[in-house]
Amino acid sequence: MTSARTRERLVRRLQEQGISNLAVLDRIRNVPRHLFVDEALSSRAYEDTALPIGHGQTISQPYVVARMTEVLLADGPLGKVLEVGTGCGYQSAVLAPLVTSIYTVERIEPLAERARALLRSLQIRNVRFSHTDGCEGLPRFQPFDGILVTAAPQEIPEALLSQLADKGRLVIPVGPGGRQQLLVVTRKGNSFERKTIEPVSFVPLLEGLR
């Protein structure tokens, strides 16, 4: 159920859906997604579907993780990246070796703690975890070459735009449940170029800590 063949089937499916970055596909192949979900669900870990991770949250669908990672890296390798919405840490684990460092923030503390322990056990060492409200970004460590948001606000938070480095890219789902679009915003000096990628479905970005 978690075999090489099952994982390969998932990789092939993502390729058929248009994911072409080989480094990203390799991460989908190698990151043990079954360790990020509850043991009772591990037989479904390599299906291309979102699954519950507790606290009313979900691990993102592999296609969406792959797509967001590919869009983030489309202009070449990145240095410092902020992820808003750690969840179980799967997106961070996929991205970690493809960038210099990741700062990931989560508003639900037990999720952040579980993700920290899991990534440590996988020997992933360039991810820093914070229990904070990602709507504020992470001012202490700005600017970021890339920002990846894995929960959907109604509007792009100003703080995230202002913490983007010049030529930096923000990948973010925006809009109400059922009508969200994945956007990529590229900073060019003080202007921000927006491009719509495709419709997506994420849990909402909520303000404040829990």
Tokens of 22: 């080989």
How is residue 14 annotated by DSSP?
H
Tokens of 48: 């291309």
Asked if 182 interacts with ligand SAH (CB under 6 A), we say: no
Neighbours of 136 (CB within 10 A): 15
Nearest partner of 106 among 124, 139, 128, judged by Cα: 128
Q: Contact with ligand SAH (CB under 6 A): which of 25, 45, 134, 174? A: 134
Q: Which residue among 14, 28, 91, 103 contacts ligand SAH (CB under 6 A)?
A: 91
Contact window for ligand SAH (CB under 6 A) among 38-46, 86-94, 137-145, 187-195: 86-94
CB of 34 to ligand SAH, least distance (A): 13
Distance in angstroms (rounded) separating the CA atoms of residues 64 and 22: 16
Q: Is 70 or 106 the residue whose CB approaches ligand SAH more closely?
A: 106
Q: Is 101 a catalytic residue?
A: no
Closest CA to 99 of 83, 120, 77: 77
CB-based contact 60:91 (threshold 8 Å): yes
Binding to ligand SAH (CB under 6 A) within 47-66 occurs at 57-60
Nearer to ligand SAH, 11 or 160 (CB): 160
Counting beta carbons within 10 angstroms of the beta carbon of residue 3, is it exposed (0 to 12), middle (13 to 18) or buried (19 or more)?
exposed
Question: Where do the H-state alpha helices sit in the chain?
Answer: 4-16, 22-30, 62-72, 90-95, 109-121, 158-162
Q: Which C-beta is closer to ligand SAH: that of 150 or that of 180?
A: 150
Residue 163 found at the interface with ligand SAH (CB under 6 A): no
Minimum distance from residue 191 beta carbon to ligand SAH (Å)? 26
Structure token pair of residue 198: 């495709």
Q: Which stretch binds ligand SAH (CB under 6 A): 6-14, 70-78, 116-124, 131-139?
A: 131-139
**Position 88 contacts ligand SAH (CB under 6 A):** yes
Under the binding rule (CB under 6 A), the answer on residue 147 touching ligand SAH is no
Chain contacts with ligand SAH (rule: CB under 6 A)? 57-60, 84-85, 87-88, 90-91, 105-108, 111, 133-135, 150-151, 203, 205-207
User: Which positions are catalytic?
Assistant: 60
